[in-house]
Amino acid sequence: MSGRADLSEDYHVHSTFSDDAQSSLEDNLVAARARGLSTVCFVEHVRRDTEWVPDFLDAAASLRSGVSSPRVLTGVEAKILDHSGALDIPQAGFDADLVLIADHQFPGPDGPVSPREMGRRIAFGEAVRRSVLDQLVEATASAVCRVPRALVAHPFSIVPKMGLSEDDLTDKQIRKIAEAAVRTGAMVEINEKWRCPSRRIVDLLAGRGAVLVCGSDAHHCRDVGRYERVRELTGALEVLATT
């Protein structure tokens, strides 16, 4: 149902296929079962030159075979590269169940810019705060429309890294993301690790009919399906959905 996020699902779990994760796919699956999850999505960071995506998908498929619970999905997490919404994803990545769209860096006109550099430009008047956020929103909405089965991962996690606040985002900007998601059937994540988006943004997204899902962004099996911040925001959604 639009506007509802299910705490029995985890759409963002990393394994040792990602450089900075510490648990295997097998360990993550055991943890998901122990937590009583109904759905777990194994997700790995990729770039255009990543070559091991087929191996990752095969490994996940072998775990999925014969497993009735939890439902096992696969995803690749790719950063937005530029204003057009181009993604840093290899061709094999489109074979995953989901493509997670990530704002790891600022999508500049000529390619990605580090959030620290964008923060410096804003601080020294070389970039205008409103324009920067407009560009981020436009690139994210464009990226959502570029791929099937998209999921907007940790939306606006880059904003505080640039020295800004989610409060700086306007309702109109949030509606643009929601409308792109609804139009394309994309989902939007409430992310535990990065504690985003804010409750205000969650409520705006839900109010516009965006499908919201939970993601731990776990890099260790002990964190699979464990929610604190997400639980708070999901409670707000339940109230919203019944009014």
Between the two ends of the chain, the Cα-to-Cα distance in Å is: 14
Q: What does the radius of gyration of the chain's CA atoms come to, in whole angstroms?
A: 17
Least confident of 73-77, 131-135, 235-239: 235-239
**What pLDDT is stored for residue 18 in this prediction?**
80
pTM higher than the cut 0.85 = yes
Residue 239: pLDDT band (50, 70, 90) is low
Q: Which two tokens stand for residue 193?
A: 């690790």
Q: Which two tokens stand for residue 90?
A: 């290899």
Q: What is the mean pLDDT of residues 62-79?
A: 90
Phi/psi at 234 (5° precision): -65, -35
Distance CA 143, CA 134 (A): 14
**What pLDDT is stored for residue 2 in this prediction?**
46
Least confident of 4-13, 86-95, 97-106, 151-160: 4-13
Distance CA 237, CA 206 (A): 7
Residue 93: pLDDT band (50, 70, 90) is very high
Contact 134, 175 (CB under 8 A): no
Domains of the chain: 9-241 (3.20.20.140)
Q: Give me the sign of the Cα torsion angle 20, 25, 27, 32.
A: positive
**What pLDDT is stored for residue 129 in this prediction?**
97
Q: What is the mean pLDDT of residues 139-149?
A: 97
Distance CA 62, CA 64 (A): 5
Residue 240: pLDDT band (50, 70, 90) is low
Residue 1: pLDDT band (50, 70, 90) is very low
Least confident of 16-20, 41-45, 200-204: 16-20
For the chain, the average pLDDT equals 94
